[in-house]
């Protein structure tokens, strides 16, 4: 199915994740700290990195940022801290998902499978015409967003969320629906993840942030 890099300073956690990953058909490579994880990603490609947030030498957040500079590899962050600030920071560093310890290995692998499947589908997507809304231009094939001619710096998940909203413009989307469309989660998704990513996405859109409308008690709608 692919190759997973498991980066965690706790050998027991690496062993558990490796067992479940190999059962799912993945090959697994281990790293004991952030520096080792970055070095491995610079040497070779992986289908996904499962990264602990708190590690010696180089923390997971910093390692995630360095990895995303070198390669477009999905990163799933693990952390014992579940506060919104930590999740927001993880997403800002480029993480695709954030799972709080202790976690269910089965749920973790379900999330991994969805992220890997969507990453492969995204890579195989046919070229499409850009989505243009006044000075906001979304180039799907190039995975770029331009605001009044200036390229906006967005993470992979922020881009995917914007494309989802834009392609469903004028349609009210619940948080659960956005989780399903963007993350692929059904019953086990955390709807607060959507709110956190919307908050980050709006901060990147400048004057066009008002195009993402909050529907109180429902979800969001894109009205450019």
Domain of 155, in residue numbers: 131-222
Q: What is the 3-state secondary structure (H, E, C) of 27-79?
A: EEEEECCHHHHHHHHHHCCCCEEEEECCCCCCCHHHHHHHHHHHCCCCEEEEE
Confidence of residue 212 (pLDDT cuts 50, 70, 90): very high
Q: Are 16 and 119 contained in the same domain?
A: yes
pLDDT at 187: 46
Domain boundary among the residues 93, 124, 155 is at 124
Domain boundary among 124, 139, 172: 124
Do 142 and 114 share a structural domain?
no
> Do 36 and 136 sit in the same domain of this protein?
no
- Sheet with 212-215, strands from edge to edge, namely 173-174, 219-222, 212-215
Please provide the DSSP assignment of 108-145 as one string: HHHHHHHHHHHHHHHHHPPP-PPEEETTEEEETTTTEE
pLDDT tens for 22-52 read 999 999 999 999 999 999 998 888 999 999 9
Q: Do 120 and 140 belong to one domain? A: no
Same domain, 96 and 196: no
State residue 124's pLDDT score: 52
Question: Does residue 178 share a domain with residue 103?
Answer: no
Q: Does residue 144 share a domain with residue 115?
A: no
Q: What is the CATH number of the domain that holds 143?
A: 1.10.10.10
Same domain, 176 and 145: yes
Write down the pLDDT at residue 2. 87
Structural domain ending residue among the three candidates 124, 147, 171: 124
Domain count, the chain: 2
> Residues 23, 120: one domain?
yes
Read off the pLDDT of residues 65-107 as tens digits, 9 standing for 90 and up. Answer: 888 887 888 999 998 876 777 778 888 888 888 898 888 999 9
**Residue whose token pair is 């980066």:** 7
Query: Are 9 and 95 part of one and the same domain?
Result: yes
Q: Same domain, yes or no, for 7 and 114?
A: yes
Do 97 and 13 reside in the same domain of the chain? yes
Q: What CATH number does residue 96 fall under?
A: 3.40.50.2300
pLDDT, the chain, mean: 87
pLDDT in tens, 101-129: 888 999 999 999 988 888 776 655 544 56
| Interatomic CA distance for residues 50 and 7, integer angstroms | 6
């Amino acid at each position: 199915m692919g190759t997973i890099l498991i980066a965690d300073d706790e050998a027991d956690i690496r062993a558990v994740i490796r067992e479940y990953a190999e059962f799912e058909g993945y090959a697994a490579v281990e790293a004991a700290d952030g520096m080792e994880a970055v070095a491995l990603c610079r040497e070779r490609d992986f289908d996904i990195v499962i990264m602990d947030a708190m590690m010696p030498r180089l923390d997971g957040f910093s390692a995630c940022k360095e990895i995303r500079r070198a390669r477009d590899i999905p990163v799933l962050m693990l952390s014992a801290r579940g506060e919104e600030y930590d999740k927001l920071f993880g997403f800002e560093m480029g993480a695709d998902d954030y799972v709080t310890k202790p976690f269910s290995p089965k749920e973790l692998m379900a999330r991994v499978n969805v992220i890997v499947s969507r990453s492969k589908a995204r890579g195989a997507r046919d070229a499409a015409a850009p989505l243009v809304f006044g000075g906001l231009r979304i180039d799907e094939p190039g995975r770029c967003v331009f605001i009044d001619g200036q390229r906006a710096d967005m993470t992979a998940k922020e881009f995917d969320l914007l494309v989802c909203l834009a392609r469903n413009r004028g349609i009210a989307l619940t948080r659960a629906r956005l989780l399903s469309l963007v993350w692929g989660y059904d019953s086990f998704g955390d709807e607060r993840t959507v709110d956190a990513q919307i908050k980050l996405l709006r901060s990147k859109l400048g004057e066009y942030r008002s195009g993402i409308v909050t529907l109180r008690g429902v979800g969001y709608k894109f009205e450019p």
